[in-house]
Structure 1
Amino acid sequence: MKKTLVSALATALVVGAASTTFAAANPFSDVPRDHWAYDAVTQLAADGVVEGYGDGTYRGDRNITRYEMAQMTAKAMAKGDMSASDRALVDRLAAEFADELNNLGVRVSNLEKHADMVKWNGKLEYTYTSERPEGTRENKNEYVFRLEPTAEVNDHWTVHARLDAEGNSMKDDTNSTVGLKRAWAQGDYDKFQVKLGKMELLSSEAYAAPGAIVLDADFSGAEVTFGKDLQATLQAGRFNLDGTYNSKVFDLDAELQKDGDSYDRGKTANYQHIGLQYNKNNFVAGLGYYRLGSEAFKDITKNGKEKMNIWAANLGYHFDKNSFLSGAYANNSSIDSSDGGSKWKKSYQVSFDYKGAESEDKGSWGAYVAYRHLGLASVYATQDGALFGSKGVEIGTNYTLWKNVILSAKYFKGKTLEKNDEGKDRVSKLFGRVEFLF
């Protein structure tokens, strides 16, 4: 593989240098001006793609190594003004020298950041659930096709989005609905991060496998995070209450309908949060305060107030890289604790996690066991297993069947926090999912 053929031709085409005459000065004594590759070589040198040797020569007749070609390919990947055909050639070179590029590590990663201004990730997932309150059963088969584009704005700012096409019933073969679920701008700086728009709202205890006990949803507003090992987070915005507290105990839809014109305003809450989270030396610990305001809360709070104040704490310890023990507790101080209300005002979980499936690692797997209690401190908790208004044991496992194909299964068995009209309180749930990531 001669350097004149691979570097001066292939890479010259990549940067659009092969068909243009350049005025750059000759950097190499052994490439005369009348050489057929002169224009390409001088422009490649001006662009920093080739450097030559310390004695001022190019040595174009020397066999090139794969590592040297990978270095030039990496530099070509960093150019952002290529035509579609040139970009296709870069992609072929990158595929050919993938191993060498990977060995270049961070240097190539930084170059690739600018090589493709818009990147797409996504997945297709199928989910089966079977909720089984004592004496009844509700089965669902659902699918989601998700696209998650990321676009670079400048060295600090990126724009993110999430689009979901959801099918609520595979059994009935109903048409899917497509919606923009999230869209936010993100600024990453040395000591802080800023997010603006509609984004993920995930309470900090969600690092454990069972998920969050306070919030696992989205909100529209702003978020600022400071620090590294000890992080402080500030959030403020608006939060849609659809689906929250939707149980046989509290039917918010019915309550809001009584107020007529205030229905729409009551369905969306003002939201603020401040939190501290520490993660270093095998320890995880955090404190958080969540405040929500809406007319929807008047009938379930003390003295008919429209505010909810939730305090939360979490603690965890990594015994090694595979084993993790954690606990989380949240208390809704706005809920009346009299007449049995104390069991509703709190939420908590204790979990032991072992390993975890990695999408890139075929055959990797994980499992967990947890005890969960989801009361009114759970505004919108993760409910793949345990349901809102219930308590009991949840177990789960996941497995990477093939690269980027993950299987998950969960089972919950417990009791509802209050008995139904027939005096029954037992409940269970089955959950299964397959995800195809791309």
Structure 2
Amino acid sequence: MKKTLVAALAAALTVGAASTTFAAANPFSDVPRDHWAYDAVTQLAADGVVEGYGDGTFRGDRNITRYEMAQMVAKAMAKGDMSASDRALVDRLAAEFADELNNLGVRVSNLERNADMVKWNGRLRYTYTSNRHDANHSKVNNDGLLFRLEPSAEVNSHWHVKARLDATANMKNDTSSDVSLKRAYAQGDYTNFQVKLGKIGLASPENKVHPGSGCLLTDESAKFSGAEVTFGNKLQATVQAGRYAYDSKTIYGSSVKPLPKLSNETANYQSIDLKYMAGNVSLGAGYFHLGSMQFVGRGIGTQPYASGSNDAKDANIWRVFAGYRFDKNNALGGSYASNTKADNYKNAYTVEYDYKGAKASDQGSWGAYVAYRKLGAFAAIAPTTDGAGYNQKGVEVGFDYVPLKNVVLKAKYFNGKDMYVPAGSDDKVQNLFGRVEFLF
């Protein structure tokens, strides 16, 4: 696209020219006072938007390049005393010349933030599960629907406010929930430093680039109220502190005794997690503490924690993980966690091999994995339980596929054993999981 310089200025960059009386002196010999663009050219020259040539001419009848136009747009963007209509005009020009402005080092995203301070993402998800673990191998099937909205609003160049709103429905009995607030926090982002304050997600999603990090903290529903600070680059440290809603989940099926069911299902929570992720290697270690008197005397079968002492109210969990990516398609990783205060079900670990990987934005992409998991109920704080479940161990396989952009299909199959076996049952377990997800 080519424009004459005078036409471009008159049509686009005469910021405020139509309603302002100019007193600026004319610096260009080839723009006479009776020229139709005289006021615009002289004012923009006074503002430093245009400079002309060394011989004192403006040469407004020549064609200009997109790069030259972008330079003028950049100078206009720097003006701070524009009316709303003039700013909207400059914003539209910035969108047109975004590539050239980026080459000049001008961040058009600043304009985008002014135009749209709140952004919305979301998903619609259908999930099917089928679990068999009792003596008769009877099926326990569930059909669930989830609708999620995730707004993000800018406060300033460093701070955003983020939230998550969920509504669920049981497709089997046609019941639904009210919309509930799952996340609400302020996030500040600085160079090699991030802070979150509010109702924050406890879990990090499973990392298929660096597998093995997901044995302890992969359940997306897990959350705590408090603060989180992360700092570092390749070596990162994350510190969390607050109150954690200890989830009294059941091992699949109502006939199996539940995990500790607390009358007050919150605990004091502190953690520190170290991660090193660079290139093909990922390493990490962490410590997690949960403290609540509600832990005392609760458990599966026998006393899970040290009894008769103040230590019985504590859960002290240590974890390590490591992963290595051999090439763009093949990766191997594993993690291990141990609760030093638990008497039973105190260890959890996983070993996983990943092949390729599905990306929601890449139609036709797919990935598969095979893993061995052991999820001891008192060592795995918030694991993903749609394959292997709490207090189960065995082999899990999974497959992801993207048939259409932002449409993701997932399938998992787990075959293993229950670590706690009620009377009249056996320890064999089979879990089947399927999901289709629409992202927007």
**1:212 match:** 214
**1:61 match:** 61
Tell me the distance in 2 between the aligned counterparts of 1:24 and 1:303: 87
Q: Does 1:127 align with 2:126?
A: yes
User: Which amino acid letter does the alignment assign opposite residue 335 of structure 2?
Assistant: A
**1:330 match:** 337
Tell me the distance in 1 between the aligned counterparts of 2:118 and 2:360: 18
| Residues 84 and 303 (structure 1), Cα distance of their counterparts in 2 relative to 1, 3 Å cut | farther
Q: Does 1:241 align with 2:246?
A: yes
Q: Is the 8 A contact 1:315 1:326 kept in 2?
A: yes
Tell me the distance in 2 between the aligned counterparts of 1:101 and 1:395: 47
Tell me the distance in 2 between the aligned counterparts of 1:405 and 1:26: 61
Tell me the distance in 2 between the aligned counterparts of 1:7 and 1:113: 23
**1:259 match:** none
Of residues 302, 305, 308, the one that matches 1:301 is: 305
Under a length normalisation based on structure 2, what TM-score does the superposition of the two structures give? Answer: 0.81
Deviations 1:122-167 (A, max 9, x none): 1222222223123232333333332222222233222222222x22
**1:158 match:** 160
Tell me the distance in 2 between the aligned counterparts of 1:70 and 1:276: 44
Of residues 400, 409, 412, the one that matches 1:410 is: 412
How many pairs are equivalent? Answer: 416
| Residues 69 and 436 (structure 1), Cα distance of their counterparts in 2 relative to 1, 3 Å cut | farther
- Three-state SS of the structure 2 residue aligned to 1:8 is helix
Tell me the distance in 1 between the aligned counterparts of 2:23 and 2:402: 53
Which structure: greater helix fraction?
1
Structure whose CA Rg is larger: 2
**1:268 match:** 266
Deviation at 1:251, TM superposition (A): 4.3
Of residues 424, 427, 431, the one that matches 2:433 is: 431
Q: Is the 8 A contact 2:288 2:317 kept in 1?
A: yes
| Residues 76 and 211 (structure 1), Cα distance of their counterparts in 2 relative to 1, 3 Å cut | farther
| Residues 281 and 90 (structure 1), Cα distance of their counterparts in 2 relative to 1, 3 Å cut | closer
After superposition, residues 100-119 of structure 1 pair within 5 angstroms as 100=99, 104=103, 107-108=106-107, 110-112=109-111, 114-116=113-115, 118-119=117-118
Structure 2 unaligned residues grouped into runs of 5+: 299-303
| Residues 39 and 140 (structure 1), Cα distance of their counterparts in 2 relative to 1, 3 Å cut | farther
Tell me the distance in 2 between the aligned counterparts of 1:204 and 1:145: 19
Deviation at 1:244, TM superposition (A): 4.3
| Residues 86 and 282 (structure 1), Cα distance of their counterparts in 2 relative to 1, 3 Å cut | same
Deviations 1:353-391 (A, max 9, x none): 122222332222222111111112112211232211111
Deviation at 1:417, TM superposition (A): 1.2
Deviations 1:198-232 (A, max 9, x none): 11112597555687322231111111112111111
Tell me the distance in 2 between the aligned counterparts of 1:239 and 1:197: 12
**1:384 match:** 386
Q: Is the 8 A contact 2:5 2:61 kept in 1?
A: yes
Q: Is the 8 A contact 1:76 1:90 kept in 2?
A: no
Structure 1 unaligned residues grouped into runs of 5+: 257-262
**1:252 match:** 260
Tell me the distance in 2 between the aligned counterparts of 1:199 and 1:434: 26
**1:368 match:** 369
State percent identity of aligned pairs.
49
Deviation at 1:329, TM superposition (A): 0.4
**1:192 match:** 193
- Three-state SS of the structure 2 residue aligned to 1:252 is coil
User: Which amino acid letter does the alignment assign opposite residue 293 of structure 2?
Assistant: E
**1:282 match:** 280
| Residues 111 and 268 (structure 1), Cα distance of their counterparts in 2 relative to 1, 3 Å cut | same
Of residues 286, 289, 292, the one that matches 2:290 is: 292
| Residues 233 and 7 (structure 1), Cα distance of their counterparts in 2 relative to 1, 3 Å cut | same
